[in-house]
Structure 1
Amino acid sequence: MPGRLYALLVGIDAYPAPIPTLSGCVNDVAGMAGLLRERVGDAALDLVVLTDADATRSAVAERCADHLGRAGPEDVALFYYSGHGSQQATPEELWDLEPDHRNETLVCVDSRTEGSWDLVDKELAGLLQAIASSGCHTLVVLDCCHAGDGTRDADDVVRLAPPDPRSRPASTFLGLAPEGASRPGIPAVSATRTGRWTPAGRHVLLAACRPSETAKEVTVQGRQRGALSAALEAAVLGTDGRPSYRDVLRIVTADVSSRVRGQHPQVETAEATELDRPFLGGAIPATPRPLTLSRLPDGWSIDSGAVHGVPAPIGDDTTELAVYPLGGETSGSPLATAAVSRVLPDRSIVTLTPPLDPAFVYRAVVTSIPLKPVLVGVVGDSAGAAALREAADHADEALVDLVEGAEATDADLLVEATAGGFVITRPGVTRPLVPVVDGAGREERTIRALEQVARWLRLSALANPVSRLVVDAVRVEVEAGTATVRAGGTLTIAYAGSDPPRFTVRLANTTARPLWAALIDLTETYGIFTDAFPAGSVALGPGESTAVELVGQVADGQWQAGTVSLRDQLMVVTSTIEFDPRSLEQEELDVSRMPSGPAATNRGGDPAGPGSNLERALSSTRTRRLGPRAGTAAVADWRTDSVFVVTNRPR
């Protein structure tokens, strides 16, 4: 990670006559400033903004020298210009530096006034070479005409700053006077007679277009913007913050090409290896990349597919999404809703309601994901198997699908029908999951037991395949004595004589936004407990943490029956909004106490429906009869992480 980001942003709309005024340059600078403040943060950012009357030639040159010049070897310097580009005749003394005898220039607000000039490409290169000489990484973004062959234009209106007709002496060039003299505060830079002025060192130049093209303006959410600036902002917002320069060029070029014609952004550097560096040298920390929705030749699609864990539709049940502006909040009513119709390896095709403008990229948030029923293979006595199928047909929840024959080889669970009752196992495991289910009403009690196991299995595997919450958004640590494990790990604890072991679960919000977390205990005997926090979930502000003291237990009855070790899955559910998981609770599985009558209907909680997309996802682990999604449900981003605790109670 670099040290600090020193940024100089210049945007000019209010040019004095006869230079045509522009409309989107100040908007470009405001957008970039907001992006840097949000993604880099004030603690690591030194920002100077010059707009309109403040963006004089002397101010731009001096801020390049004294502000960007502060960047050290571990820092990053950014020069960002949005305005007119133009051309100017090259003084005869410098013809060997410019084969066509025409300089490319940036037009400052006072460039055409008496005693002032455009900022020539060679002057800018000299300033940047002095900045890069410290060893810092330097990025230059020019949202103007690249070679001065034109300037920003919009629609049919050509916004062209005419070439400066004045004859300009070489002595007015910053740092390029033939005698080597320089203005106060501006470093002298020796000229390299290469015919092209590209500063050496760790720098990258991102230009709006090719030399023969014009840089254009577009309307984005009702505001005028430079096509390059709008695309660059969307590229940073639409990634995890650390794409390489090659990635940025690809994304920006595709975006610009979809909006305007005859404009192809360009990247230049003195060292090709710089193109493989992260954008801005890595000054933007890795952040969760929003899920995006865009229109491609084969239709609307989200940028996540099978390799990201997006499940294929299961009958009429599929992944559903709410659609919002790319840079906007995901609170309030969405612009549209989408449903996944086909999952490809790298993305998923969706149907969109209502239609949206295909020229833009949007943000999508998952509101519902399909969950498969638990597949149960039935083997053994045919009469018993038939009776079990009949009981399943009359069950109200039907979280399980019973299969026989060849299909049973791929089942999640197996039920063997015997003369003495039903034996429930997992494929490849001979030890029954529960005691043999026998006696009166054993068919209904077996279905009840299977449904309880199914609820446990569905919840234990619940994950958001397209969550944009980073790993360790809420850091999970489980401690016992000197041992500590994090998410994905297993902690082994043991009784001390008859005293059960104690351990601590710590949850810490590592992000800059408030989050809510719940701790769900899934026991090996298919119980689900959510009582770690009185309200089910706990609010954690930025940097806040909480701790829960728990006890590992192997119940006396289990221990006396021969069980000496049990494993608990501690699932932490993290959400961007408040939620209540308490409707998930179920006691340990005990087939002797299972009622033998028809199962009570489980509609997933409150008849009014889940209050958010997360509560809907949690409720869907308990039933296949959840009903349509409420249009007013709040939309959260959420993720799950688990730690496993093995409790040993030796004989």
Structure 2
Amino acid sequence: MKVLYAFLVGINEYRAVTDLSGCVRDVETAEAHLRSTLAPGVRMESLILRDGQATRDAVIAAFRSHLGRAGRDDVALFWFSGHGSDAEAPDWVAGLESAGRVQTLVCADSRCDGVPDLWDKELALLIDELTARHITVVLDSCHSAGASRIVLKHTPEARIRTPPHSAQTRSPESFLPGTIERAADVPPMRHVEMAACEAHETAQELILDGEWRGVFTWALLGARKLLGNTATYYELLQAARGRLAVRHAYQESSARSAIPEQLDQPFLGGTVVAPDSGIWMRYTHDEWAIDAGTVHGLPIGGGLRVGVHDAAGQEAEIVEVRATDSLVEPAGGWEPDRDRQFPVVTTSVPLPRTTVAVAGVDPAEVADLSAAIGRSPHLRVAAPGEPVQVRVTLAADGNLVITDRHAERYAEWAHEGVDRVITALEHIARWLLIWELENPAPGIVSPVRIEIVDPLTDQPLVPNGLGEHVLAYTPDLRDWRPPSIRVRLRNTGAVPLFCVLLDLTPRFAADPMLFPGDYIGPGVTVYSRDRRRIGVQLPGDIPVEPGAWARDRLKLFAAEQRFSVLPFRLPVLGRRIPVRRKGLGTQDLLDRLGGRVHRDLVDAELGMAYDWTTSEAVIKVVVP
């Protein structure tokens, strides 16, 4: 029997550097996810070191004793979630590090009483000692393509969690025996490495699904749930990058191997498969429960409901989300038969209000705007230290500036009162809700994929490390010529799905013109706009000049039944939102979820429960 040996390290509490929040949860969720998706005939032997258990000596010893048990036909996995750093490269690695620095993992006792970090060269030595032919390393830490995490880079009220660079000078005797000799030989890389970011970057952790999580671990496990059993390392990386882009986590995650073809093999050599796509509700131990929990992506908090698949009026509210299952209570007077099991799908997901931070030179103006935000059903003022989605600055020159948390400018005008500000913020909040909306536990696996295609070669364009398809203007004789693309949708699943593709524009419109709604059959590929070329241009208010850029975000909704596209439509920011009308014979997906984009409208009549999923793509157009 093949064995998956998994060694996972999660460190929130450090002795000599700042603490983190989501690392232990990262590795616990990863371990539970892997255990629940083992392929038939595979056994899992796992070991987790948490916080103070993960000293440098303990990590080295456990790496050797636990992963060293893996035979040639077994699979070895090392998963690290915590601080990473870098250090000046010593003379004996001269010419091997292009930036002149080496990457390090910060153990629980690193930099305390002379204990050094665990260097990447030492990790490579430990990997060389393993017998297993399939070895995977996952690093959710800064400088990890080669490992520290921060929370919300460029966000003043967030806690910055990057430790300083290691200034400690290490003697040759302080390294694991054989480290220097191995570096001199430069043996080929034996393992597949999946890293949260590049060596010069920082990784983020955010509140995701109700708790602090490393965004890379969250994105990678989410991609595992969405893709089929044959998903390769490369396909998982692309899907994870897409999920990172949805959360505006601009870190360049990567996958590396000495032999590129290794990235085209199934994740962990096929020892894990796609999670079971069905969720069942059953009566057990005097209570109703469903076999889905945090490991399956259900968020912690109120507002979640499930409904019996292909049935009307039979719903249950989730009252407690646990690791591998959740307790539910039948709702609306439904009294299910305790001797039956019911297939269920997600019918309602919580859509939290958008968090806003307000700053300005006039305290009275700041107080007035903050009070108005608090009265909005779509917005709330961010608490101190809480992640912020939108910022509003009342400048000294009388202008009002709205930006995202990375200071990317959304809008600016002369401040004339709070009404216009609230209208704009609520519009942006609706746009963000559409972009970030996803099914926490979809039963649909191998979803419809968005492919951005070169119009000349008809070949898919490859996104960059940030998950963005970057397209450039080209100089013409007198002007700049915008790029063009084709967009196609590929249903990789086994059932027909009704699909709508939205263009979420830089000026906060949500337009379904690319694919306004139709069924796509299993295994079928269809082009948007009848295969016509689609020009990608800057908004009219951005001059076409070197350095200019803008992003379009494509959001695809796919469901088992037809739904109306009208609730998704949003005009350009500042224009009137049209009155929404029902489509004949359709159900509004957003209304069915119970968390509508237009919350001030009347609830739709509860219809039949059906499954749904989402996909995303980001297009960035630049003027070089």
Task: Please report the TM-score for the alignment, with normalisation by the length of structure 1.
Answer: 0.47
**Relative contact order (C-alpha < 8 Å, sep 6+): which is higher?**
2
Larger Rg computed on CA atoms: 1
Q: Please report the TM-score for the alignment, with normalisation by the length of structure 2.
A: 0.49
